[in-house]
Amino acid sequence: MRGLYFDGKELKYREDLPIPKREGEALIKIIYAGICNTDKEILKGYHNFSGIPGHEFVGIVEDAPTKELIGKRVVGEINVGCGKCSYCASGLERHCPYRTVLGILERDGVFAEYTTLPEKNLHILPEGISDIEGVFVEPIAAAFEIPEMVHLEPNEDLLIFGDGKLGLLIAQVMKLYMRHVVLIGKHKEKLKLAEEWGIEGVLLQDVEKIGRFKYVVEATGTQSGFKEAIAHIRPRGYLILKSTTASGAELNLSPVVVNEIHIIGTRCGPFPPAIRALSNRWIKVTDMISEIFPLNRYKEAFLRNNEKNTIKVIFEI
């Protein structure tokens, strides 16, 4: 089959990849797959991954143990637990210490014609959601992990650092929960888009004008973003971390103790609320699509993904 293969050093387009097969899992034909910044990290060596990257997708079940699934249009949760440990037993496969993760950890991903996943990871996409919108279910689910982890008071304001693809989705999800959402970023065009959705956009250069918030989301994945975020939290407030890419650097936790701040890491989230939000048209994603590429133009796609004003780049498989 056609697909992108990362050998640990270089990403290559190949047409000779075998169609994947995993005992007891569904075989899915990929329609669209989205580029996430985690993919960029993986191609830099994160998790020492080798194989087919990519974890955001919409596809059609081509084969499955449960025959009723065949032909269904699906999206899929990316963590596959061992099914035996205490985390799996309590529904927390996302934290199973023996898990594999689609296109991230010891499991081939979706930048290819086919992938496999256990049936329990699949969610059927309702008719009201288009194929390409479905690509956004996985990152929207990651945004819904915030209310999963933190009690958000609806009569409060929330501040987000980072107007990237994830920051823009988080802003929309948080708008469902909070009185007012402020998004800090470096990109006028992206902030303008957020303004159209009823979110207040503020350029990073004007951050000094912004006061302190009870809830702050760090979605830049940079140390400077982290420091700015900490500086804008009220005593006893919440800093929600939404990026795995924070690199080691000088960091003084003294203000966290003095101001009794809660820092909460959040990662993958629940799919059903993401599907519900898209079905109900509560979240707009099509304006976020910057360009669609075929797989064999992957080099252009990743270059486009890195451009300043790009939001979402998608592969049409």
Q: Which parts of this chain interact with its own copies (CB under 8 A)? A: 87, 92, 95, 145, 149, 226, 235-236, 241-267
> In Å, what is the CA distance from 75 to each residue of 43, 241, 263, 275?
23, 25, 30, 10
Closer CB to its own copies, 231 or 249, in the complex = 249
Give 67's contacts (C-beta < 8 A, 6+ positions apart).
Answer: none
Closer CB to its own copies, 150 or 202, in the complex = 150
Cβ 30 to its own copies, closest distance in Å? Answer: 26
Give 128's contacts (C-beta < 8 A, 6+ positions apart).
Answer: 278, 279
Cβ 261 to its own copies, closest distance in Å? Answer: 5
CB-CB contact of 33 with 314 (8 Å): yes
CA 161 and chain centroid, separation: 16
Closer CB to its own copies, 202 or 264, in the complex = 264
CA 208 and chain centroid, separation: 29
Cβ 225 to its own copies, closest distance in Å? Answer: 11
> Rounded to whole angstroms, how far apart are CA atoms 183 and 170?
10
Closer CB to its own copies, 203 or 246, in the complex = 246
Cβ 287 to its own copies, closest distance in Å? Answer: 27
Cβ 97 to its own copies, closest distance in Å? Answer: 8
CA atoms within 13 A on the CB side of 5: 10
Closer CB to its own copies, 89 or 253, in the complex = 253
Cβ 245 to its own copies, closest distance in Å? Answer: 7
Strands 26-34 and 312-316: antiparallel
Closer CB to its own copies, 226 or 315, in the complex = 226
Strands 157-161 and 122-124: unpaired
Cβ 278 to its own copies, closest distance in Å? Answer: 24
Closer CB to its own copies, 132 or 240, in the complex = 240
Closer CB to its own copies, 35 or 230, in the complex = 230
Give 186's contacts (C-beta < 8 A, 6+ positions apart).
Answer: 163, 203, 204
CB burial of 280-292 (b: ≥16 within 10 Å; e: otherwise) equals eeebbbeebbbee
Cβ 108 to its own copies, closest distance in Å? Answer: 20
> Rounded to whole angstroms, how far apart are CA atoms 100 and 110?
14
> Rounded to whole angstroms, how far apart are CA atoms 99 and 81?
4
